[in-house]
Structure 1
């Protein structure tokens, strides 16, 4: 996000007839941060900061951002996943005379054995195993379409998870092109919406989610669990994009429809065993709490968290751990630093390879540390885990 964002903030502020001091008071953003942003002393601004300013100025967040906020992967991550990106982005290697050609059944069996690594966030193992699996799936041709789509969906999700956005887009667009029906396409679009959200492309994420939600909206009286779960997730993506883009009405409407889908479903459901599409009343509650965090309502986050049955969620559930970050953030904002750090420790104990990829965790820990005069050994170790710069 360039210094042009600061110029846009200044232009809209003046149009609204506000001083920097008045904007700071209305938005909750410090006058120092506003001054530095407008004067071009800060080259970047977090999407959360721009959302607060946009809300106070009564414009969509992207009116101020103007361009995506791509928070790309670290150099270490880029190096680790190089072979995976090459397998996604380049033509498959031609088989040699003595090579045994892959079979659809063999690749499908290998993918079944690998899927627990995805759901368990075993990134180190996946970085080693995935390149060969992707090349074998590509070599199958048309007969391997269905297994290739599933593998590309998972690879795209993994690339989003590790902030390798260009590779993620390649994988997901390929999966979307090969999708055989609207449900398979919608499953891919769900992750593509998440990619747009992480890139800060809020309008694109919202439009894509609404488009696919409209195309997959089932008749409630005869909807299958898979249809309800697919539709519900797209509505959650639309709500997430709208709330971040300072469109509270659209966010609330989409969340209400997602809640209706969850009520009709009556339970958490995982279509075809796909952990990425697990949806139900608990998922909606997790995302409602996330929305509350986005609009800076830590009291609401904590209240909603008290109603979520955590015993039903796997420790490696990304939705669960993302929610725990929301809870940690709420604790920091309400001055409960010990419990905030406890949530970070809980996530790290349950999903060690997931936490280091979360910029949100770094932001939470930075604010927590800023409020401490001295750091414990555990806090210093956590700073290393999440990659907090020295």
Structure 2
């Protein structure tokens, strides 16, 4: 978020006739943070904090926040500019004179399919190496006909998802725009829009995310009695994105309505739909339950999060396709807000063991663990190791 959040916060607070101390008391946000934001000493704050302030001031969250800026690559796990070659591959023209042989549609398609476990397993180091040349080859086959374009659509969609995951927002926008422009299949286009909505959410553009998700959900809404799992998945995910945008923008009624429609799609599905060839389509009752818990955490109901989590069978779930890790961060946060710091650390250690490359990219995890260690006089070796894994300075 830009430094303007402090200026807007001050303007709205004064219009409401509230002092900084009164806003702090009613919102639960520290007086110190409010002062630093308004004085320009802090130019950034978490979405949940902005939502708390906006809720107290009775305005949409979008009236306070501005677009997130592209994160410095060094912030993401200290890996340097891991994604520089990938960003260049998205915008640089293809040099056919440097190729020893032309790529084939079948060959590139097989390469994309073989890379799926790397995407679903959050294996960022390997992906940063293989994707630049793969994008180049996909560009070359895109002009050969519909089959070649379909391969590039798929790869661009996956790349956009990866770059959104790792906070390379401008590059993600390029990849997803290309995927949508080339898409000829309505459901594949809807899957790309789903990721575009997620990108908008991560950038704090809540109104845009809500509008885009709602419009496309109306566009692809199936007749439930005849709908295929893929159709239900596309519709359900768009509804979940609309709900996520609404709850963050202080529209709880709208968030609950769209979540209820998403649950209708999940009930019609009858089970968790998780096709092997497209982990991004994973959807069903468990996915909706995870997002219901996420909404509960956004509105600061840790007890409800833990209650809902106890009913969700997360054991054996694939981390990315079922949003398991994101849900477990909500569980860790709920334990932290309940002052059960030992359980918080235990949950974070479990995520670190399952997804060591994913966790350092999560600002949410850093915020949670930073608050835990701030309340400890001494740290155990395990906690120091976890701090290194998450990227929290000691």
Instruction: Mark yes or no: TM-score above 0.5.
Output: yes
Shift of 1:133: 1.1
Distance between the aligned counterparts of 2:80 and 2:244, measured in 1? 28
Shift of 1:239: 0.6
Is 1:336 matched up with 2:340? yes
Distance between the aligned counterparts of 1:103 and 1:3, measured in 2? 49
Structure 2 counterparts to residues 227-376 of structure 1, below 5 A = 227-271=231-275, 273-315=277-319, 317=321, 319-376=323-380
Shift of 1:228: 0.5
SS in 1 for 2:41: coil
Contact 1:70–1:200 (Cα < 8 Å) also in 2: no
For 1:254-299, what per-residue CA distance to the aligned partner results, in whole angstroms no more than 9, with x for missing partners? Answer: 1111011101111111357310110000000000111111111101
For 1:348-380, what per-residue CA distance to the aligned partner results, in whole angstroms no more than 9, with x for missing partners? Answer: 111111111111110010011111111111111
Contact 1:210–1:238 (Cα < 8 Å) also in 2: yes
SS in 1 for 2:95: coil
Change in CA separation of 1:83 and 1:74 when aligned onto 2, cut-off 3 Å: closer
Distance between the aligned counterparts of 2:243 and 2:16, measured in 1? 27
SS in 2 for 1:189: helix
SS in 1 for 2:36: helix
For 1:333-354, what per-residue CA distance to the aligned partner results, in whole angstroms no more than 9, with x for missing partners? Answer: 0011011000111011111111
Distance between the aligned counterparts of 1:316 and 1:232, measured in 2? 17
SS in 1 for 2:222: coil
Contact 1:236–1:284 (Cα < 8 Å) also in 2: yes
Contact 1:298–1:330 (Cα < 8 Å) also in 2: yes
Structure 2 counterparts to residues 90-109 of structure 1, below 5 A = 90-96=92-98, 99-109=100-110
1:72 is matched with 71
Contact 1:3–1:43 (Cα < 8 Å) also in 2: yes
Shift of 1:182: 1.7
SS in 1 for 2:209: helix
SS in 2 for 1:79: coil
TM-score (normalizing by structure 2): 0.95
Unaligned runs of 5+ in 1: none
Distance between the aligned counterparts of 2:267 and 2:125, measured in 1? 38
1:116 is matched with 117
For 1:297-354, what per-residue CA distance to the aligned partner results, in whole angstroms no more than 9, with x for missing partners? Answer: 1011101000101235124556000100000000000011011000111011111111
TM-score (normalizing by structure 1): 0.96
1:205 is matched with 209
For 1:138-181, what per-residue CA distance to the aligned partner results, in whole angstroms no more than 9, with x for missing partners? Answer: 11114211111101111111111111111101100000000002
Distance between the aligned counterparts of 1:271 and 1:317, measured in 2? 10
1:87 is matched with 89
2:153 is matched with 149
Distance between the aligned counterparts of 1:206 and 1:304, measured in 2? 25
Between 1:278-287 and 1:102-111, the stretch displaced more is: 102-111
Q: CA RMSD in A?
A: 1.6
Shift of 1:93: 1.8
Shift of 1:77: 4.8
For 1:62-104, what per-residue CA distance to the aligned partner results, in whole angstroms no more than 9, with x for missing partners? Answer: 1111x112361422556222211111121212144x7211110
Change in CA separation of 1:317 and 1:185 when aligned onto 2, cut-off 3 Å: closer
Unaligned runs of 5+ in 2: none
SS in 2 for 1:311: coil
Distance between the aligned counterparts of 1:265 and 1:194, measured in 2? 23
Distance between the aligned counterparts of 2:20 and 2:26, measured in 1? 10
Change in CA separation of 1:186 and 1:271 when aligned onto 2, cut-off 3 Å: farther
Shift of 1:20: 2.0
Change in CA separation of 1:326 and 1:174 when aligned onto 2, cut-off 3 Å: same
The structure 1 residue matched to 2:168, chosen from 164, 168, 171, is 164
Change in CA separation of 1:370 and 1:13 when aligned onto 2, cut-off 3 Å: same
Q: Tell me how many residue pairs correspond in the alignment.
A: 388
Distance between the aligned counterparts of 1:13 and 1:372, measured in 2? 34
